[in-house]
Chains A and B, each alone.
Chain A
Amino acid sequence: MAARSLLQAISEGLAEEMRSDETVVTLGEDVGKAGGVFRVTQGLQEEFGPLRVMDTPLAESLIVGSAIGLSVNGMRPVAEIQFADFIPPAFDQIVNEAALFYYRSGGAWPCPITLRIPYGAVPGGALYHSQSVEAFFCNTPGLKVVAPSTPADAKGMLKSAIRDPNPVLFMEHKKAYRLVKEEVPDAGEPVPLDTARVHREGTDITVCAYGIVLHSVLEAAEKLSTEHGMETEVVEPRTLYPLDRETILASARKTGKFLAASEANVTGSVSAEIAALVADEAFEWLDAPVKRLGAPDVPMAGFAKPMLEYLVPGAEAVEAAMLELARY
């Protein structure tokens, strides 16, 4: 067991899958010699060669489309979309193709591809290196959208994603890449894709969060416990689509106060769906309105640091929202 960053854990998970299964290949822009702009695939081309770790032309529809074609012909491709912001050209190949292959062929053609998608706001990222695009895809049956936020989960869930017979969008929060570290088992076991995780038990409020905001929530939960004796239950969906509804609803029914948080634009977000689910199926247990916390509905995110900080819910905003809910 050794301490690993989120980025190292993902990199290790991918390397281990490539070692144990020779059909696993990775492709994308700059993933080869450069090891990816974030260095997730560093060293892989040296180990596995230029065919299994392939630099592709800058063409996102091609990257996803050719990953689909590889999967059709016996391979397990892991394609990197360099930044989530550049996924729209591949939207058709994801939602009309990968998501529907299995269904539309009556089960004849499964599509086991994994798309690694670095997302989220980072200082200096500005409008086109900051977006949280997960909600675009959480309305498409046939896709799995996973967003683990801790290193051990990320490593284990990447393994599950690669072994899964369905297309899996694997969201990696860029700010969490190097910031978040924990002990990660060396020979990592796969972590199932279909379960939410309860990070912290509590009785006063529930916060359901993912991405970098999850880490703010976990910190705030400790602080509010010490300072106010307020116990927060923290639930991480881990998979955003389809949701582990039972775990989320069980927590909402237990605490009666529910906040869904992430840094995505609020309208139509995954948090919005989680909030609707709780309002729909746990109403009788609630002591307060279901709340959502996220970025206002403006493009993500200003280049100037104060603009970025104004938009993305940081530690203070998270803490304030939690306190407000507890006091309701």
Chain B
Amino acid sequence: MNKKPVIYGFMAEFRTANHLLEAAKRARKENYRKVDAYTPFPVEGLSEALGFRSNKIALITLIGGLIGGIGGYFLQYYSAVIDYPFNTGGRPYHSWPVFIIPTFELTILCAALAAFFSMLLLNGLPKLYHPVFNVKDFDLATRNRFFLCILSSDPLFDDFRTWQFLEELNPLHIHKVAA
């Protein structure tokens, strides 16, 4: 048996988004770094309060779009000019105006695929098991409750003091999250 911590963290349950937002800011101020928050809808400013500023999705989407566009044009150029030149109605082999249409569509397609899959991969999804699902009330996170979880992997995590800190925040409940 390896000596893994038996708990994943402590989780406080709140009734409102603003309450959770305040709690997240307090936790940040207390120098907790491994803090997660769970909400039923996107709350503006919450991820910033947890110290998460920018994400790479826009950049990845741009790169996906560029690959799609350049690749799409190259595909048409290669096939219609180099590999299989074919005279249709006396048009030039490199008839670029008609190449724009598939190029445009492939740009959009690859950018959209990049946006979707980068969102999933960076979020670590799909992940069907996660310790937070062990919490009895956690199904309310997709309904009307707001959760703040301080992870046991946080250097400041302490069974007694962390629990006390969460109690100061005045939550509805505090749950132990089994690992």
Q: Does B bind A?
A: no
